[in-house]
Structure 1
Amino acid sequence: MTLHSTGYLYYSGASGGFGITSAKVEDSVTLQLDGYKVCTFLIKSTKENNFVLPLLVKKASQPEKRLMSITRDLKPADLARFSVGGETYSSLRENDYMDAGKFPTIDFAVNTDKASYSNIRRFLNMGSTVPPDAVRIEEMLNYFTLEHETPAPGEDFHISTNLSECPWRPANQLFYVKISAKKLDFTQIPPSNLVFLIDVSGSMDMPNRLPLLKSAFKLMVDNLRPIDTISIVVYGGTVGVWLQPTSGGDKEKIHKSIEELSPGGSTAGESGILAAYKLAESTYIPNGNNRVVLATDGDFNVGQTSEEALERMIVTQRQKGIYLTCLGVGMGNYKDSKLEVLAKKGNGNFAYLDNEKEAEKVLVKELTQTMYSVADDALLHVSFFPENVKNYRLIGFDNKFSALSAEGEGMLEGGEVGTGHTLMAIFELTPVEKYDSSASLATIELSYKLPKDSVQHKMSKLIKDSHIHSFQTLPDTYRMAAGISLFGSVLKESRFVKPANLQDVLTIIQPIAKTDNLLQQELIGMVEKAKKIYYKGKASKLKANLFW
């Protein structure tokens, strides 16, 4: 539940009870529950309030049907049976160990979203525990710059791997796969046709919503070029073009237009996005970066029929070369947001902006990664050799239970990869008792398409060298990645890392965190905050449980 006057989130206990404090006689709340429609209600402190959430009608286009990873030769419906009961707090099913002899190959999308990390930071800054299904470990890893490696001349990607001891399970190993995308020369990047679609409804009238977006877009505009074109469409009390197509060089005019935005009225999202795409089509730049940038504080909800038509329209526009990027502010659990699935349909990405520093990171420092892609429909395919690997488990890239049900078998969709992006995927391996030095460890295949091209490209790598690093001698980039994944796993209350705790996370990351790396220092601060929240009164006495 979200209390609108404060923006705070509340979660019911085992009995379904809430404890809520509001300084207002009248307030409004948004209620969310898996399987039910998200609704906003007016509440009055002077009387008892009763609300009923209507059941959602299952639709083929629901975001839950989209798979993040899939094990070959294993039906999603059968995969659901591997789940351990009792974890009813989460709609995500954490990836389990797979028998490399029966199911040697796993496929997963190259996911470049980073929103989960900033969402986790927001919860911790509020002094709140983090909902387990708000933790997406692959997005936490994406948030950090993990030592980009330049691809060879003529190549679009560089693939590197490493193998080490597993700090939370000494008998196992961690296998790291790092993918680095080529960096585009900013001076040679094609012109952009950007349409900002901004929610100016009444709910945006909070410091961490419309004012934050205004600051974010002004920072972004400062880094655009005269050859770029900017337009603004707003939706709230009315829908309309706020700024006609304008050169990126006319910064004063664009800044003035952004500054004059003010909130008011109700949301009219469907009309807004239709108007934005219509404008993007009218200013389309052949071979350019044509993109709608949607910014809002809540789910982009429309009627059932309109929703399906809207998604089809977004897919059609993607096929024409107009992509969709979504920015969320002041929201609840973004993973339940319609924004994420719309961004995927539009072959774009989704970021959560919880403060101005994050806005600067996404829209200034990482502007090219956010807005310019080097590959579409990117998928990784990893096959393990049973001669050396008994079982394997992909960390992160978890699927929702409903995507694994018999009636909801989902499709695995590839992802868009921005220029210079580095992806880290980590597997936990159970080795065979007797290692076969003549056999390989794994094969890695990356399949993708170039932007606006239908030809599929592939590059592969055979991993023969199975040298196992002790965890202490592993390069810092990989140790930091392991620490980040352990942080996410502990927040998710993962059964696979017990008895590890947050002190173990600090034991891994503190010795290698660079004093001049603000993101790494912030990570340490977040783990310290989490210790105080999760181990109330016991944080100072918490001992590390790992021995490695």
Structure 2
Amino acid sequence: FVRRQLNQGVLPQKDAVRLEEMLNYFDYDYPLPDSRETPFKATVTVTDSPWKPGNKLLHIGIRGYELPRAQHPASNLVFLLDVSGSMNSPDKLPLVKQSMGLLLSQLQPSDTVSIVVYAGAAGTVLEPTPASEKQKILAALDRLSAGGSTAGGEGIQLAYQLARSSFKKDAVNRVILATDGDFNVGITSNAELQGFIERQRDEGIYLSVLGFGQGNYHDQLMQALAQNGNGVAAYIDTLGEAQKLLVDEASSTLFPIAKDVKLQLEFNPQAVSEYRLLGYETRALKQEDFNNDKVDAGDIGAGHRVTALYEITPAGAASGLLEPSRYQPQQPAAEGHASEYGFLKIRYKLPEESSSRLITTPIPVDGGELPARMARETAFATAVAGFAELLKGGQYSGNWSYQDAIKLANSNKGEDLYGYRSEFVQLMRKAEVAAAMK
């Protein structure tokens, strides 16, 4: 959405900028885990904040185990496609058809595909069909046309019914909803719709949401549905974006290697006086829910990268925003831990398990010099986060500017195999121009 707005020469609305999604749009070259049994590895680095002298940026990077293609689990996919009248534009239903065609190229011959559509009513366009019958599936997609009102809830019920009818144990059973987000008939209560999707998730059928078009896209609802369905929510505005999500990143989109992944960071009050998490406002977790295995959280797919940034004020630094407390003296750190900024805990479940496992990582104050590769990746992520903060109004960015963000990103693009980072730098330049014209 940010890209679409900037390509039209305007700044996106501040509330539409989700820092964590911009940050996680890019793959970062984090170290790989050694085995599927420990399905991801956490990399933690600490660097100086470029926009607040005296502050530090604590960078947490996670990379999932990459499944060899021969180890990909079977897939039972139901495409739930919105063919209502609102989808009748080139960047909607025609792009949906092209996107689903791209996804087919990533499936194994024995995988199963079904197609459900909804408009004034929901209907089955394609009964469960082996992916080996690609021409049959493509022909079913090609026959679709837009028209009618929207019965999103009704369509979802039928899609899950089909997914259950062809359910495969030890496979990925997933409904993929492609829509412009205009749900106005069917299950009209958002709470009821989310509850329905949660129950299906507990039965082993997940939901991912692909958004198309603009104008009536209900972004918050789409995000909530995907989160409750243990899936991804992504916005596709071009065929190139469909290629990125459904071909280049198909493994991380389709194949979970860990579920209910939760991160908790405990800061050492002797070393850190203030901290803030950059982004993730819609994914905050209550402290008491971290150890509760009944509380749902996000999944990590094969090869998936997840990045989070904290800005911290070291104890004693003059760069903080808060006045010292009159009544709350600084608590000393536990004995033996004075050299740590904090302690990272990660809980996760393997896909077939119901009890979580725990990974812990202390964060040293002196982590030593970063390897060149990690210094580059950390710097690029910092540029992305700083740019997102500027788009959101720059409340914490001080005098840091678009030009500073552009310089930092441009000098740390790395190999940039698919050109995503170069494209991002061009968007930053468009934002600079758009901001100057306001």
Q: Corresponding residue for 1:506?
A: 406
> Aligned runs of 1:300-449 on 2, under 5 Å?
300-302=183-185, 306-332=189-215, 336-399=219-282, 413-433=296-316, 438-449=338-349
Matched letter for residue 453 of structure 1: E
Deviation at 1:502, TM superposition (A): 0.8
Deviation at 1:238, TM superposition (A): 3.2
Give the secondary-structure state (helix, strand or coil) at the position aligned to 1:190.
coil
Matched letter for residue 433 of structure 2: K
Deviation at 1:412, TM superposition (A): 7.6
> Aligned runs of 1:104-115 on 2, under 5 Å?
none
Distance of aligned partners of 1:415 and 1:474 in 2 relative to their CA distance in 1, 3 Å threshold: closer
Residue in structure 1 matching 2:355, options 455, 461, 464: 455
Distance of aligned partners of 1:497 and 1:471 in 2 relative to their CA distance in 1, 3 Å threshold: farther
Q: Corresponding residue for 2:15?
A: 133
Give the secondary-structure state (helix, strand or coil) at the position aligned to 1:272.
helix
CA distance in 1, matches of 2:189, 2:308: 37
Distance of aligned partners of 1:296 and 1:499 in 2 relative to their CA distance in 1, 3 Å threshold: same
Give the secondary-structure state (helix, strand or coil) at the position aligned to 1:475.
helix
Q: Corresponding residue for 2:328?
A: none
CA distance in 2, matches of 1:343, 1:301: 18
Contact kept? 1:166, 1:471, Cα under 8 Å: no
For the pair 1:298 / 2:181, whether they are aligned, the reply is yes
Distance of aligned partners of 1:500 and 1:236 in 2 relative to their CA distance in 1, 3 Å threshold: same
Give the secondary-structure state (helix, strand or coil) at the position aligned to 1:243.
strand
Deviation at 1:336, TM superposition (A): 4.0
For the pair 1:529 / 2:411, whether they are aligned, the reply is no
Q: Corresponding residue for 1:217?
A: 100
Matched letter for residue 9 of structure 2: G
Contact kept? 2:180, 2:218, Cα under 8 Å: no
> Aligned runs of 1:158-197 on 2, under 5 Å?
158-197=41-80
CA distance in 1, matches of 2:218, 2:295: 17
Deviation at 1:424, TM superposition (A): 1.4
CA distance in 1, matches of 2:372, 2:404: 14
Distance of aligned partners of 1:473 and 1:391 in 2 relative to their CA distance in 1, 3 Å threshold: farther
Matched letter for residue 146 of structure 1: Y
Deviation at 1:146, TM superposition (A): 0.6
> Aligned runs of 1:268-287 on 2, under 5 Å?
268-287=151-170
Count of residues in Structure 1 that have an aligned counterpart in Structure 2: 411
CA distance in 1, matches of 2:121, 2:403: 51
Distance of aligned partners of 1:474 and 1:184 in 2 relative to their CA distance in 1, 3 Å threshold: closer
CA distance in 1, matches of 2:195, 2:68: 34
Matched letter for residue 529 of structure 1: K
Distance of aligned partners of 1:516 and 1:474 in 2 relative to their CA distance in 1, 3 Å threshold: closer
Matched letter for residue 29 of structure 2: E
Matched letter for residue 361 of structure 1: K
Offset from partner CA, 1:16-57 (integer Å, 9 cap, x none): xxxxxxxxxxxxxxxxxxxxxxxxxxxxxxxxxxxxxxxxxx
Contact kept? 1:176, 1:424, Cα under 8 Å: yes
Q: Corresponding residue for 1:97?
A: none
Contact kept? 2:116, 2:126, Cα under 8 Å: yes
CA distance in 2, matches of 1:514, 1:313: 44
For the pair 1:122 / 2:22, whether they are aligned, the reply is no
CA distance in 2, matches of 1:433, 1:469: 23
CA distance in 2, matches of 1:378, 1:482: 23
Deviation at 1:464, TM superposition (A): 2.9
CA distance in 1, matches of 2:126, 2:50: 54
Residue in structure 2 matching 1:243, options 112, 123, 126: 126
Unpaired runs of 5+ in structure 2? 287-293, 318-331
The 10-residue stretch of structure 1 (352-361 or 515-524) with the greater mean CA deviation from structure 2: 515-524
Q: Corresponding residue for 1:483?
A: 383
Q: Corresponding residue for 1:148?
A: 30
CA distance in 2, matches of 1:264, 1:174: 50
Deviation at 1:413, TM superposition (A): 4.6
For the pair 1:519 / 2:420, whether they are aligned, the reply is yes
CA distance in 2, matches of 1:303, 1:220: 28
Give the secondary-structure state (helix, strand or coil) at the position aligned to 2:52.
coil
CA distance in 1, matches of 2:31, 2:80: 35
TM-score, L = length of structure 2:
0.88
Deviation at 1:512, TM superposition (A): 2.0
Contact kept? 1:195, 1:291, Cα under 8 Å: yes
Contact kept? 1:479, 1:508, Cα under 8 Å: yes
Give the secondary-structure state (helix, strand or coil) at the position aligned to 1:175.
strand
Unpaired runs of 5+ in structure 1? 1-118, 404-410, 538-548
Offset from partner CA, 1:500-524 (integer Å, 9 cap, x none): 2211111211122247540111011
Contact kept? 1:300, 1:337, Cα under 8 Å: no
Give the secondary-structure state (helix, strand or coil) at the position aligned to 1:362.
helix
Distance of aligned partners of 1:189 and 1:393 in 2 relative to their CA distance in 1, 3 Å threshold: same
For the pair 1:497 / 2:379, whether they are aligned, the reply is no
Matched letter for residue 427 of structure 2: M
CA distance in 1, matches of 2:427, 2:199: 41
For the pair 1:201 / 2:84, whether they are aligned, the reply is yes
Matched letter for residue 8 of structure 2: M
Q: Corresponding residue for 1:65?
A: none
What RMSD over aligned residues (CA atoms) do the two structures have, in Å?
2.6
Distance of aligned partners of 1:215 and 1:305 in 2 relative to their CA distance in 1, 3 Å threshold: closer
Offset from partner CA, 1:450-490 (integer Å, 9 cap, x none): 22421111111112352466999971000000000001000
TM-score, L = length of structure 1:
0.71
CA distance in 2, matches of 1:498, 1:212: 41
Q: Corresponding residue for 2:291?
A: none
Give the secondary-structure state (helix, strand or coil) at the position aligned to 1:441.
strand
Distance of aligned partners of 1:448 and 1:400 in 2 relative to their CA distance in 1, 3 Å threshold: closer
Offset from partner CA, 1:279-318 (integer Å, 9 cap, x none): 1000000111000000011233457765433322211110
Contact kept? 2:276, 2:310, Cα under 8 Å: yes
Deviation at 1:260, TM superposition (A): 1.2
Distance of aligned partners of 1:239 and 1:502 in 2 relative to their CA distance in 1, 3 Å threshold: same
Contact kept? 1:394, 1:427, Cα under 8 Å: yes
